[in-house]
Structure 1
Amino acid sequence: SMSDTERLLVDEFSRLLSQDDSPALALPKGEASADEAFEISCRIVHHLGAAFFRRFTEKAAKGDIIKSLEALGALAPVAAAVTPYLAAFATQHKDEHFVREVASHFPWANELLPRSERRAWFTDTFDDVNGVARTIRKLSTVAATEKLPLTILTCVDTPTRGAYDLANFTPVGQFELPEYEMQKISFPPVLEIIEYIERRQFEELIISTPGPMGLTALLAAKLMHLRTVGIYHTDFPNYIREFTGDAALEAMTWRYMIWFFSQCDSVFVPSEYYRRYLIEHGFDPAKISILRRGVETDTFNPSFRNESFWKQFGGRAGATTFTYVGRLSAEKNVDVLLRAFDKLAAKRPDWQFAFVGNGPRLEALRKQCRHRSQILFTGVLHKDALSSAYASSDVFVFPSTTDTFGNVVLEAQASGVPAIVTDRGGPCEIVGLNESGIVVDLSDQQHRVDVLVNAMRELGEDAPRRTMLGERALRTAHTMSWTSVLDTLWKINENRPLRSNAVIDVRAKHPTTAPRHHRRSPKHD
């Protein structure tokens, strides 16, 4: 009888072959060329891989660890099928690596090695409304302005085009993330991406997400001896703890994160807090550097203030307005925030609270507050509307304990608005630079609502202090430009040895089955 893994493989392969319109069945007539054989292998392997990955995510979401591991196990024979191609990629770059090593012993020869500045930035999220995607889009736009050779590699349905170099690969399959229903994770065409990296001759791979695209980048880097820079944007272990309360699952996530980022030559974190935090959890201190974020002070500034802005959302003109901008979800402590304002609202009818954003808690919060005129929900705002929302606020409140930086806090500061943040994560460092707000400790579950109440009352009742803190906030924002952030990112590996140079053309030494000779354009936009 077949094992569960074998049965999974047979079932999925049968399902693939039974689809009349399956792209994997578009076989050539007669004997296939090396290029055609590569394409056929890509299609079959990608579709089977996506099917098993889907099953893995479904079982993992239900907490069925055994079944999820079985689904991962079924990927092994699929991976074995592409081993010849991966071996060909590695073989073609073996000589380049050897020549580089030899040249390193002769300083005069180093000048003869052609160097490439070309960088590829890998991300699983691009169009989403989150700090990771916004950071990537902004820095890639700045890179284009500075004429730096940076290409974004992602795998989404229909990416937003902009003033940046973007290679989007068509997803083989897509799956929803538990608790992140609005964000899908895509299974990428791995071999096509590796072939693209080789053809474009990238020198360094920047990795923003430890998902399928990040894993593809690591694989390519190992095969082609490329430098890698990991960016720790998201505190996934903390999210897992907040969502599930499962210590074992949190520990498993930590092990994965440590393994993933240990494969990178350098790792960036957004704050000193997270540098210490990751070192405490086993990250290599020698690899970690700080990469803060920037802010566009022409987009976010006090000139966007409009006293009647909140009226369109049912608010009052001239009311003292507390504002939260971000994802409306449990891990951001938005429920704690609502309870805190409830304690203040009855005694202060001239105060109002605005929630700006979307998320899984939005509908429940709206329903809960349907008869409370002092609480406003705007949904997601963009461009001038978002700028006005910040600038038309009097106090920005961001009680999250899981944010590695806190882009929204910096945007509020650029708008001249003092902030109330927690003492965990990146936001407290933004506020701490010029003491432009209040930092609170919400670790005590029993008293955290009262802690927030006291901080909000303190700023809400003291307009002169708000003005003073707002001026400090502006000074903080004006020291943080996106150009300086990109400069830090670009130079991180300047003094490290190059891992890959197009030193000698060794292509003719290898058989035509090697993927480098695959001439058809991959499926990317």
Structure 2
Amino acid sequence: MKISIVTETFLPSTDGVVTRLRASIDYLIDQGHEIQVIAPDLGVQSYRNIRFDGVQPRTFFLYKHRKFGMPTRQIKTYLEDFNPDLVHVVNPAFMGYSGIKYGKKLGVPLIASYHTHAPKYADHYKVPWAEPLLWWHFRRMHNQADLNLCTSQAILEELNEQNFYNVHLWKRGVDTERFNPELRDESMRERLTEGNPDKTLLLFVGRLAFEKEIDTLIPMLEEKQDAHLAIVGDGPYREQLEKNFSHLNNVTFTGFMHGEELATAYASSDAFMFPSTTETLGLVILEAMASGLPVVAAASGPTNEQVDDGATGLLYRSGEDGNLTETIARLEDKNLQQQMSKRAFSHSRAFGWHGPAKQLLDIYESALDVKQEQEEGQQAVQ
């Protein structure tokens, strides 16, 4: 099968979408399929001999810290030249509009997947009037696809409420070989705690953006001087975050980590922090669990699906009536912490990437079968 993937984000970017894509592409290639990736050209133009077609990235005036591929007729040329059997548009927003438009014109199965809960960012950026416009924009694109995918049951239900067409759940996964508690390393722990390894080491991993709600951890850290937060990642909000946390001596900013270094950082920590309530899933939650970490997460639909409160982690209320400080205090019960660590690790073992990647291929093949049946039906009528 020849598969065109039009995606708003790809290498060298580091996020959950790219992680999922790489795992899926690896599986598809290993199964003998031919892959084209159309993505913003950010300098990485090769991955496992796939065909890469780059789109010139540009800065979006409302989000100047990151470059995006914009709608372009060039995508039509790329698609027609590759002549795919199926088109998958990942997270359509900007250039994904062209992926939807020209992918549909090819007459092959068109699949779209929803990964970023952009309409919910409106409240965080204090533009609530924009939420219905964003829903309209994303619904208009996704409803041109034959089939839509999303990554959690809570988001699936919300998309159904917003009248998205034919939505299916795409299972979550994690690299169960890379992330492992056995990578725990005392020198890494010294580094992340800036020489205070006896403190409770809390870890955050992700893109540093306003909507990640990392600032909400400040009151807890002010009160819990026996805890230390390591923030792994980078992004447009890092400079402001460093200013906001500057009065604290129990916070470390490390910048990006990758590969074994990142896996070691996970394994060397005591608990994982997930303060965002706007995620469609949060693959880092499974990475933390696979590393033997209980997850302390702000309660929301997608996180409630992944974190079993008191078993694999702890859920807390965010906002003005939040209870994060009291929730973190529960980690002082070392027996509870160890039990949650073991259960989190055990839970993660069922979520390797093979399952979600195989599911995606099954969806592709089913879409092809449906399209063929439709064409045969039309020919019979004629």
TM-score normalised by length of structure 1? 0.66
Match of 2:179 among 285, 300, 309: 300
Change (3 A) 1:366 1:224: closer
Superposition RMSD in Å = 2.3
CA contact (8 A) 2:218 2:245 kept: no
1:381 aligns with 2:257: yes
* 1:187 aligned residue: 70
1:142 has 2:27 as partner:
yes
**Secondary structure, counterpart of 1:237 in structure 2:** helix
Q: Classify the secondary structure of the residue corresponding to 2:196.
A: coil
For residues 301 and 151 of structure 2, what CA distance do their matches in structure 1 show?
9
Contact 1:203 1:500 survives alignment (8 Å) = no
- 2:49 and 2:182 mapped to 1: Cα distance? 29
How far apart, CA to CA, are the structure 2 residues paired with 1:166 and 1:242?
A: 38
Sequence identity of aligned pairs in percent?
26
2:321 maps to which residue?
447
Give the superposition deviation at 1:396: 0.7
CA deviation string 1:358-414 (max 9, x = no partner): 123322332344453321111111112211111111011101001111111110000
- d(CA) in 2 for partners of 1:456 and 1:474? 20
Corresponding position: 1:463 with 2:348: no
**Stretch deviating more after TM superposition (305-314 or 408-417):** 305-314
Superimposed CA distance per residue, residues 338-363 of structure 1 (whole angstroms, 9 cap, x where no aligned partner): 22221211xx3xx3111111123322
**Over alpha carbons, which structure has the higher Rg?**
1
Alpha-carbon deviations, 1:254-311, whole Å to 9, x = none? 1111111111111111111111111122223xx1111122111221110111123133
- Name the residue aligned to 1:132: 17
Match of 1:277 in 2: 158
Matched AA of 2:67? K
Write out aligned runs for 1:126-525 (5 A). 126-127=10-11, 128-159=13-44, 161-171=46-56, 174-176=58-60, 178-179=62-63, 181-187=64-70, 189-190=72-73, 192-243=74-125, 245-284=126-165, 287-313=166-192, 314-345=194-225, 348=226, 351-370=227-246, 372-432=248-308, 435-442=311-318, 445-448=319-322, 451-459=323-331, 461-496=332-367, 497-499=369-371
Partners in 2 of 1:323 and 1:439 — Cα distance?
Answer: 16
Q: Is the 8 A contact 2:29 2:35 kept in 1?
A: yes
- AA partner of residue 454 (structure 1): E
Per-residue deviation at 1:462?
1.2
Give the C-alpha shift of residue 177 in structure 1.
5.4
**How far is 1:233 from its partner?**
0.5
Separation (CA, whole Å) in 1 of partners of 2:247 and 2:52: 48
- Note the alpha carbon deviations across 1:212-267, whole angstroms, 9 max, x for none: 33222222233221211111100010112211x22321110011111111111111
Q: Quick one: structure 1 residues 437 and 292, their matched pair in 2 at CA, closer, same or farther if it must change by over 3 Å? A: same
2: distance between equivalents of 1:250 and 1:425?
18
Instruction: Give the conservation status (yes or no) of the 8 Å contact 2:119–2:131.
Output: yes
Structure 1 residues 434 and 203: CA distance shift in structure 2, 3 A: farther
Structure 1: stretches of 5+ with no match in the other structure: 1-116, 504-525
Once the 2 structures are TM-superposed, how far is the Cα of residue 142 of structure 1 from its aligned partner? 2.6
The code of the aligned residue for 1:364 comes to: Q
- Secondary structure of 1:312's counterpart equals helix
Compute the displacement of 1:322 (Å).
1.0
Structure (1/2) with the larger helix percentage: 1
Say if 2:59 and 2:65, in contact at 8 Å, map to a contact too: no
Give, in angstroms, the shift of residue 498 of structure 1.
4.9
Contact 1:352/1:375 (8 A) holds in 2: yes
The structure with the largest strand share of the pair is: 2
> 2 CA distance for matches of 1:205 and 1:418?
38
The Cα of 1:132 is off from its aligned counterpart by: 1.3
Work out whether residues 189 and 269 of structure 2, in 8 Å CA contact, stay in contact via their aligned partners in 1. Answer: no
Q: Could you tell me how far apart the structure 1 residues matched to 2:142 and 2:282 are?
A: 21
Matched positions, count = 371
Give the CA deviation at 1:137: 2.2
CA–CA distance in 1 between the matches of 2:310 and 2:248? 36
* Alignment-mate amino acid for residue 185 of structure 1: F
Find the counterpart in structure 2 of residue 520 from structure 1. Answer: none
Partner Cα distance (1:433, 1:395) in 2: 14
Alignment CA distance shift 1:200-1:500 (3 Å): farther
Shift of 1:164: 4.9
Q: Tell me the CA shift for residue 188 of structure 1.
A: 5.5
Q: How far has the Cα of 1:146 moved from its partner?
A: 2.8
Residue 307 of structure 2 aligns to a residue whose secondary structure is helix
Alpha-carbon deviations, 1:10-57, whole Å to 9, x = none?
A: xxxxxxxxxxxxxxxxxxxxxxxxxxxxxxxxxxxxxxxxxxxxxxxx
SS in 2 for 1:247: coil
- For residues 162 and 366 of structure 1, the distance between their equivalents in structure 2, rounded to whole angstroms, comes to 34
CA deviation vs aligned residue, 1:456-507 (integer Å, no higher than 9, x gap): 1112x01111111111111221111212111111112544455479x9xxxx
Contact 1:420/1:438 (8 A) holds in 2: yes
The residue that corresponds to 1:29 in the other structure is none
Q: What SS is found at the alignment partner of 2:204?
A: strand
SS of structure 2 residue aligned to 1:491: helix
